[in-house]
Amino acid sequence: MAYKIEIKKIRTPPPGSLKSDIDFICQSFGYFTKRDKNNTAGKIFHLIVKRASENTDGLTSDEIAEELDLTRGAIVYHLNNFISAGLVIRERNLYRLRSQCLQKSIDEIRNDTFRIFNEMMKIAEEIDKELGIFYR
């Protein structure tokens, strides 16, 4: 599966606020945009992270919509964005974090990016070699 990962450097929040910390993760992945005036992505992400701590199998889009009092269409739109970034997975109509905890989910995304960059470096080396360009 192809991922589209966006990383933004933002100011780290002061310690002590779970909401601010989860918002920081969400913002770092580029999910708080001016277009999302009601912070729908943030609300969905908060709920998914919270449910991960409860060891549930996940949530359906209908359950998320009902809990947050939002339309299912809005929920699915944002869930698809989380899926394309590799943060959330869908199994049997249930949405959950990629791993059992947020830290492991982010670590797996980091490892994905390392693999992608390593593959790009191999190919770049071959291109440079073929063109007679050398990296010092």
pLDDT of 30 strictly over 90:
no
51: tokens are 């449910």
Spell out the residues 6+ positions from residue 62 whose beta carbon is closer than 8 angstroms to its own. 72
62: tokens are 């209908």
pLDDT of 69 strictly over 80:
yes
Find the mean pLDDT for residues 17-30. Answer: 88
pTM score, two decimals?
Answer: 0.80
pLDDT of 66 strictly over 90:
yes
CB 24 within 8 A of CB 10: yes
